[in-house]
Chains A and B, each alone.
Chain A
Amino acid sequence: MTASGFQELAIAALLVVLAAFIPMLSDGYWLSIAVTAMMYIALSTSWVLFSGPTHYISLASGAFFGVGGYLVATGMSDYDLSFWLMAAAAPVVATILAALIGLATLRLSGVYFVIFTLGLAEMIRNIVSWVQNNFLGSRGLYVLTDFTEAHIYWMLLGITAAVYLLGWFVNRSRIGFALRIIGNDETVARHVGINTATPKVILFMTTGFFAALVGAVIAPRYSYIEPNQVFSPELSFLVVIMALLGGSGRLWGPVVGVIPFTLVWEFVAVQFPNQTTLFIGLVFLLIVYGLPHGVVGRLEQLAASVRERRNA
């Protein structure tokens, strides 16, 4: 188990190094797709940290991502604070928010949690626009930095690597083990002595931290930010889809889902801009009925049956 664990880590490190060269090889269109893909890889890998083992479907990514983007924008635009300060503060705010949400909902059944996160981005968007309209003046916010697409890409890659490394450690730690037990059977978890709320809340906070960090780092890409646009409920769903499509049973599952999905998504968005919602719906149905354990799960099934046949 340990040997294969380090092997996995080495492969991941190699991939990160290779991925770091992408901005040298391409620019313009393909780089911009790479930035989008890297953003979703970071988001859905951090989503899997929590939702993979517990099977709690979090739709809060859009809210945390929005908190990250909005705080950077308002900090730089309204208060003249530096990007770095805001990029550091935003994840902390999101982590606190996640802790509060987690404490309120994660002690209860998973359904309440899903429902609570379902409207979260929309609700925060409403509050932010209300505050913006009534107290701060309704106008767009500027995020002006010297970053190029390549810089943003490398920052996102760094975040992804950090998420992965953290996840690798979590999977080998008591808290990760506790989370797997909870995902299997919460009653058993309590009866082996696990205080089930704690690990859930902690991992959910981690997810919130990284989603906000990604939101903060990607903000300079848009330079002009409407508070209304950064809190996107759609983003939460895209993160869930990509993570599940790849397979949430493995930390590297989402990568397998993100890359093809981003490419197809770009194609659909350009060719059939009015059918994107329908497309999301169809992919959800495909996952539930065709790939309940994602592409990775299906591959592992195939590998297992091949092994069985060879042994037989």
Chain B
Amino acid sequence: MRYSGAVLSVRGATKRFGGLVAVDALDFDVAEHQVMGLIGPNGSGKTTMMNLISGALQPTAGSIALKGARISNLPAQEITRRGVGRTFQLVRLLPSMSVLENVIAGAVFGHRHRWGREAEDHAHRMLERVGLEAMAFAPISALTYIDQKRLELARVLAGDPELLLLDEWLAGLNPTELETGIELIHDLRGEGRTIILVEHVMDAIRSLCDNCVVMSSGKKIAEGNPADVLADREVVRAYLGDEDA
């Protein structure tokens, strides 16, 4: 595959679980500094697609390339080292470690090797970045839900990812928290990061994304800027069913 200028190119990505096709021949590109929304009804294969990119799952067919270099079929740790960072749909933290250590974990083994003082300073900067510096030495059990989400994000940012995958990062937040959360992603966007966002919160999609890919039953049914895509008849039908369309 030639380097087309896209940070991420997905071509024909397919994932089968036995007879079920969770992701069906998906194609899309993510350009640099672009925020792309991956949306679709529940069970449409969005999280599976994220897992294929991050290496948590191996695709059955198709290829995924990061800046022109093929990353599909590499183990997750190798993909991380090449610059893909992700959060998980259900927050995953390291419960026996402090907040700071959780972030250091992200800083040490990524594509830049930091250790000791350097890793610690870097982790503190990341905590500041997500507004969690005050909790640096707290145990994980002391964190509220949005703080846990912030911490996971700080851990991912600590690895200096070239591509950031946020899997329903805004899900489960209350209205005030949601505002804070959207603002935080807005800031990341302002920094010129390349992000793929799996999200159900439509306000967030509208205000954050440059581009959207809509999935339904594993297939891509629409692509384009959020306003157009969300007005698309087929997309509305996929979300709401035929009668409401």
Question: Do A and B come into direct contact in the complex, CB within 8 Å?
Answer: yes
Chain B residues with Cβ below 8 Å from A178 are 108-109
Q: State in angstroms the CA–CA spacing of A185 and B109 once bound together.
A: 15
Encode contact with B along A183-205: 1 for CB under 8 Å, 0 otherwise. Answer: 11101111111111000000000
Chain A residue, CB-CB nearest to B165? A191
Q: With A184-B95, A185-B94 in contact, do A190 and B80 touch (Cβ < 8 Å)?
A: yes
CB nearest neighbor in A for B152: A188
Known A174-B108, A193-B80, A193-B109; contact A180-B159, beta-carbon cutoff 8 A: no
Does the CB pair A184–B159 fall under 8 Å? no
Does B76 touch A at the CB level, under 8 Å?
Answer: yes
B97 surroundings in chain A (CB, below 8 A): 180-181, 184
Is B111 interfacial (CB-CB < 8 Å)? yes
Q: Is A279 located at the chain interface by the 8 A CB criterion?
A: no
Interface assignment of A177: CB less than 8 Å from any CB of chain B: yes
Q: Which of B77, B95, B96 contacts A190 (CB under 8 A)?
A: B77
Shortest distance in angstroms between A191's beta carbon and chain B's nearest beta carbon?
6
Q: Which residues of A contact B105 (CB under 8 A)?
A: 177, 181, 188, 192
Contact of B96 among A180, A189, A191, A195 (CB under 8 A): A180
Q: How far is the CB of A52 from chain B (nearest CB, A)?
A: 11
Which chain B residues in 79-136 approach chain A with CB under 8 Å?
A: 80-81, 85-86, 88, 92-97, 104-106, 108-111, 115
- In-complex Cβ contact of A188 among B81, B92, B115 (8 A): B92
CB-CB nearest in chain B for A195: B77
Judge whether A192 and B106 touch: CB under 8 Å: yes
- Pair A193/B110 contact, Cβ less than 8 Å: yes
A174: B residues at CB distance < 8 A: 108-109, 115
- Sorted nearest first, the 4 A-B pairs with minimum C-beta distance are A193-B109, A184-B94, A193-B80, A190-B76
A-B contact pairs, 22 of them (CB 8 A): A177-B104, A177-B108, A183-B96, A184-B95, A185-B92, A185-B94, A187-B92, A188-B92, A188-B93, A188-B94, A190-B80, A191-B54, A191-B56, A191-B77, A191-B80, A191-B85, A191-B86, A192-B105, A192-B109, A192-B155, A193-B81, A196-B77
Apart from A187-B88, A193-B111, 13 more pairs, CB < 8 Å:
A174-B109, A178-B108, A180-B96, A180-B97, A181-B97, A181-B105, A185-B93, A187-B92, A188-B92, A188-B94, A188-B105, A191-B77, A193-B81
A residues near B (Cβ < 8 Å) are 174, 177-178, 180-181, 183-185, 187-196
